[in-house]
Amino acid sequence: MKLGQLGEFGLIDRCTSREGPLPQDVICGIGDDCSVTRLPDGSYQLVTIDMMMEGVHFLRDATSARDLGYKLLAASLSDIAAMGGVPHSGYLSLALPGDLDVEWCDEFFAGFKGLASESGLALLGGNTTRSTGPIVLDCCVIGRVAQERVKFRSGARPGDLVCVAGELGASGGGLKLLLEGVAPRSLKEVK
């Protein structure tokens, strides 16, 4: 069987099916927006990780570096918010080709740090490496939530209020159009 046949969720099931019992402080592991662990004060720590790869999640020529930095962090922040939490700190790992303009990096960080500042998130570390291929971006965000305020997917019930930010599927639809060669419209045309 090939990985494409197995699929993302099949791979996750295959990787996690042989795990033993979780540590006692783990409330939720794989299967929700974030992992959830109990902190000594009784509150919960939330941890989420999101990765984006050039050619799969974005096109360098069609996405500004500033927008990409913002988008990467926004994906992780939305996971923290979905579980009722508040972001605390973040970690950023980058695999970047050596011929990438330094100005691109400056713009990427401007977008990332701008949203980090708005959300009260402190960037505490990460990793960088050279890529011989596409740009790969990986963001980990740690948040906190009071035990009585945590929201799990399994807690959803018919009749619950569901809130979303933006238009569902717009990001994926936009990437599909770009991959099909449809030229993006300028903001002036959209208005």
Which of 61, 59, 60, 70 has the alpha carbon at shortest distance from 92?
A: 70
User: How many of the other CB atoms lie within 10 Å of CB of 49?
Assistant: 15
For residues 112 and 92, give the distance between their C-alpha atoms in angstroms, rounded to a whole number. Answer: 10
- From residue 77, alpha-carbon distances to 25, 53, 187 in Å are 23, 18, 25
For residues 125 and 140, give the distance between their C-alpha atoms in angstroms, rounded to a whole number. Answer: 10
- Find the DSSP H helices in 51-169: 65-82, 102-119
**DSSP labels, 6-44:** HHHHHHHHHHHTT--PPPTTEEE-BTBSSEEEE-TTS-E
Q: Are 187 and 67 in contact (CB under 8 A)?
A: no
Q: Count Cβ atoms within 10 A of the Cβ of residue 46 and give its class: 0-12 exposed, 13-18 middle, 19 or more buried.
A: buried
Mean pLDDT of the chain: 87
pTM of the model: 0.82
Give the pLDDT of residue 165.
Answer: 64
pLDDT tens-digit readout, 116-139:
999 999 999 999 999 999 999 999
| pLDDT surpassing 80 at residue 2 | yes
Give the pLDDT of residue 156.
Answer: 78
Question: Within a 13 Å sphere around the CA of 129, how many CA atoms are in the beta-carbon half?
Answer: 10
pLDDT tens-digit readout, 81-107:
999 999 999 999 999 999 999 999 999
